Structure 1
């Protein structure tokens, strides 16, 4: 099981349009669906407590389950996972996030 790791206090100012375009180019998903996934991901992450370093650790399986349970999400689980993985790739390429393994 892997977790996403980001520094919540120093969250980067991201151009959402650039992020959505990047994810769409990697997943071929519709920007509307991508934005829904990102909106629910943000709500989930906002409820995760920071560790002593100001970082948050997100269990990707719990995040996917949370997003899939939202009534407005019409995407398949593999599509949601692909969107989240592409988003992580985007942040990793910018040096803003990384993975930790359990």
Structure 2
């Protein structure tokens, strides 16, 4: 649907995690260098759940709405063990590092 590519929501971006080989999708709004607001969806949603927050907070923050593994345009591993909490936490840490927010 056209609403998923609405440029007023932000820019669609991708990052590949070296260790897992997975490609992650996220939508980013607001200027780089501003404080980060990371938005993580629940089950069974994806980045679009945060469309109102992307618009609302982009003037003060770098807002990033991430598609977690297996959701939206992010790669979906086949095996169930790849969805354990420690895998998800590692994904988020590596993605934050790649965005330049390591604290």
TM-score over 0.5 (shorter chain): no
Structure number with the higher helix fraction is 1
TM-score (norm 1): 0.38
| Relative contact order higher in (CA < 8 Å, ≥ 6 apart) | 1
TM-score (norm 2): 0.37
Structure number with the higher strand fraction is 2
